[in-house]
Amino acid sequence: MNQFEHVDVIVVGTGNAASCAALAAREQGARVLMLDAATEDARGGNTAYAGGRMRVVYRDVDDLSKIINLSDDDVQNIEFGRYTAENFFDDMARVTQYRCHPDLVEHAINSSFETLVWLRDKGVRFQPGRQAARVNGKLTHWGGLPCEVWSGGAGLVEMLHSRARADGITICFETPAIDLLRDHSRITGVRAFHQGRAVEIRARAVVLACGGFEANAEMRTRYLGPNWDLAKVRGTRYNTGRGLQMALAAGARAYGHWSCAHASAWDLNAPEYGDSVVRGAYQKHSYPLGIMVNARGERFLDEGADYPSYTYARYGREILSQPGMFAWQIFDQRAVPELRDTYRIRQVTKVTAATLEELAAKLEGVDAAGFLRTITAFNAAAPADDAPYNTAVKDGLATHGLALPKSNWARRIDQGPFEAYAVTTGITFTFGGIKVSTRAEAEDDGGNPLPGLFVAGEMVGGLFYHNYPAGTGLTCGAVYGRTAGRSAAAFAHTVGMPV
Ligand SMILES: Cc1cc2nc3c(=O)[nH]c(=O)nc-3n(C[C@H](O)[C@H](O)[C@H](O)COP(=O)(O)OP(=O)(O)OC[C@H]3O[C@@H](n4cnc5c(N)ncnc54)[C@H](O)[C@@H]3O)c2cc1C
């Protein structure tokens, strides 16, 4: 049988959102075809680059044990705390400056726990997350991130695809969708290239889960602004905004923060796109332990404004607006042992020096005198050495008297040897998307569903504005993916096969 015939639901993409959509539609009895522009080696989009943290609502360790295989040792020795729907909602509202769409966010939050349980039932394995610190001798979690997919995003793709294959879902690689087929207002399939040949694939419903426009330099410049074309892409090269263009051309409504994106500090010499060996390890998120300086040798952001899981996604944008689009992160020997593992990889742009003067001379592209003025002023403004420094909480150890404060974890940087790491902007994904209902139906300008079209993952607009709390992309992608798959299958039951 031709793989493009007798399809109920086409799912465009093979990342987290698409895979959840495909599995959910299949669960409802639909015949599902997944399409990916990528080669099989590069399957799974940004999901395959993700660290695997998933933000989730839970009441206690009993809830978590429905998601993670916890050993008795874990239960006894780890303090998991709780993370309520109100906590999740507050975090989303605060970091998005109260702009996120309340109903869309509420659906993601209220479905987060049951969706992770569902993922586990589909064969995804979870482990305790890394956002934890020793408090009174006990490993203590905070901030809604106790769950991490075992072996990260690449493992998630592997586990979801193996379940998809077992469930009889066909996956076609090297098959970019280029357009939606329409019969009057109803979406009836996609036009695609399959191994270089144009094909039209008809189906009762289509789910678009094919990412934002982060890998499209032209769209980045058009929507995000000057110099975004020069940003490094942290993940897949295939998320070129085609899905968004297809949906908009079919009459879907643009929604969300189109001029903003998730972007973080990324090694200065990382390749143009994500690298399948190093993956996320180019990221450099330990800046709260030190300071960041630009080409003038000046600090330009508050490294201790909040926990890094609430600042990293907007600090890439701050780096982009610095002269030359780079910065150096500076640490002394008190900080070095606490740096994340991503600082210890071979592919890193790093210098070390015994003294600050020697370091100043080694910071390529930086005004040495400016740097020495900055660090001298910073050290003079930092609290005394005996102040109670604690990275497990916002310790309130702030600088005094600086025009640009460091609000927490301010410690003098004066114990050599010193280490410095060069970073630039790495874009993760774009925030602008399509307006959907809480059933993941794509809506038109009048707020009505576009019959037969469903949207999930990075393509959903209205969730993220200005910033992003860590671990939310995979959770929202899984929730809206599963919702889109279910809605698409339900819609497919109600309509005939297009001819
Ligand atoms: C380095 C890195 C680390 C991250 N860490 C985390 C984390 O720990 N936790 C978290 O929650 N989030 C994390 N994220 C963000 C997270 O990965 C994304 O939010 C999420 O994976 C997006 O899933 P998605 O299914 O929407 O898109 P993707 O996973 O990007 O999938 C999109 C798919 O569409 C395909 N595609 C694109 N265009 C077409 C087309 N025209 N036709 C057919 N196929 C097409 C792509 O090839 C791909 O398969 C991270 C991202 C990166 C890059």
Question: What would the DSSP string read from start to end of 384-417?
Answer: PTTS---TTS------SS-SS---SS------SS
Pocket test for ligand 1, best of 36, 39, 47 (most atoms within 8 A of CB): 47
Which atom of ligand 1 is nearest the CA belonging to 55? 11
Q: Residue 1 has what pLDDT?
A: 55
Q: What dihedral do alpha carbons 203, 209, 214, 219 form, nearest 10°? A: 40
> What is the CB neighbour count within 10 angstroms for residue 202?
18
Q: What is the pLDDT of residues 428-438, one digit of tens each?
A: 999 999 999 99
Token pair 């600082």 in the structure block, residue: 343
Q: Provide the token pair at 197.
A: 């040949």
Q: Give the N- to C-terminal CA distance of the chain in Å, as an integer.
A: 17
What distance in Å separates the CA atoms of residue 52 and residue 40, rounded to the nearest whole number? 20
Give the chain's residues under pLDDT 50: none
Q: Which pTM value belongs to this model? A: 0.97
Q: What is the pLDDT of residues 230-289, one digit of tens each?
A: 999 999 999 999 999 999 999 999 999 999 999 999 999 999 999 989 999 999 999 999
Pocket of ligand 1 (CB under 6 A): 12-18, 35-38, 44-47, 49-54, 153, 176-177, 209-211, 234-236, 238-239, 242-243, 280, 428-429, 457-458, 471-474, 477
CA distances 191 to 30, 176, 274, 374, Å, are: 20, 9, 28, 57
Q: Residue 12 has what pLDDT?
A: 98
Which atom of ligand 1 is nearest the CA belonging to 481? 25
CA distances 292 to 71, 171, 326, 455, Å, are: 40, 44, 10, 39
Pocket test for ligand 1, best of 92, 116, 175, 210 (most atoms within 8 A of CB): 210
Amino acid at 206: V
SS3 at position 244: helix
Residue with the nearest Cα to atom 32 of ligand 1? 210
Q: Residue 131 has what pLDDT?
A: 83
What distance in Å separates the CA atoms of residue 153 and residue 159, rounded to the nearest whole number? 10
Q: What is the pLDDT of residues 323-379, one digit of tens each?
A: 999 999 999 999 999 999 999 999 999 999 999 999 999 999 999 999 999 999 999
Residue with the nearest Cα to atom 40 of ligand 1? 176
Whole-number Å distance, alpha carbon 458 to ligand 1 midpoint, is 7
SS3 at position 164: helix
Q: Residue 5 has what pLDDT?
A: 82
Whole-number Å distance, alpha carbon 407 to ligand 1 midpoint, is 33
What distance in Å separates the CA atoms of residue 201 and residue 214, rounded to the nearest whole number? 27
Q: Collect contacts of 132-135 with beta carbons under 8 A, ≥24 apart.
A: 132/78, 133/391, 133/392, 134/392, 135/79, 135/392
Which atom of ligand 1 is nearest the CA belonging to 19? 25
